[in-house]
Every structure is written in structure tokens, then in C-alpha cells.
Amino acid sequence: MTWPAVHICRSLDHDVAAVSRVAGDPANLPAWATGLSAGIRQEDGRWITDSPMGVVEVAFTGLVELGILDHDVTLPDGSVMRNPFRVVANDQGSEAIFTLFRRDGMSEADFRSDAEAVRGDLDRLAVLLHKRLPRA
């Protein structure tokens, strides 16, 4: 069985390495991923964040330096949400591509709302990159 999915993309004026350095650093999540993180801290080597879902753990699971920003979010009940997130080269810039799944029990309205939140997060990432880094 598979869940319905959408791929939410945002063009960025920075190369894969630069985007990965910023987006793949958990300490930066509160600055752009407000749908996930309102504040983040390390506890016993794990990244813990205050999210709209409660206190959760965030762990990047891919080779971040290569643009594989897949990450697991462990919810307060112990369940794990796996989130595919890739950054791929596009000429001198890149494309950030987040895959959003419509999980069991999620309404269409909640799915649309989550997709809008991800779009907003990627827009904030573009602004953060523009502020912190020179253009590609």
C-alpha cells in the first residue's frame, strides 16, 4: 500500500552544498522550518524541538552534504514520520524538493494545509539563504 503524495519544489539561487549546509543543520530549523520547529536543543546527542505536534525528535538520515536531507520526526507517542527531502542541482542553483505524504486518517483539508506550510517553509529557506550567503 502507498499513500498519496505531492512533491513540493522551490528553486533556490544557491548550489546544493550551500543549501545543504544551511538546511541540513538542525540548529537552523527554527529559522525556516516553522511547520516543524519553534525552538531546538540538543539532549544526549539528539535534536529535540518544540513543534506544533508537541516535543519531537528530529534526525537527518541521509548524506546531508550530498543534498539528501531526508529526516525522521519521532512524535510524542513514539511513532516516526519519515520525510524525504532532497536538494538537487539546477544549473548554478538548486531545487529543494520535499515529498509530502497524505497519511492514513489525514483529511484532504489537513493535507492541503500541510502542503501550504511546507511551501512557506521553503520560501523562508530561500530568504534565509539570501541573507546568509552570497548568490551562486
pTM score, whole prediction: 0.91
What residues have CB less than 8 Å from 133, skipping those under 6 apart?
Answer: 14, 18, 22
Confidence class for position 97, pLDDT limits 50, 70, 90: very high
What pLDDT, on the 0 to 100 scale, is given for residue 119?
A: 97
What residues have CB less than 8 Å from 136, skipping those under 6 apart?
Answer: 13, 14, 15, 18, 92, 93
- For the domain spanning 5-132, the CATH number is 3.30.530.20
Domain spans in the chain, listed from the N-terminal domain onward? 5-132
Quote the mean pLDDT of the chain: 93
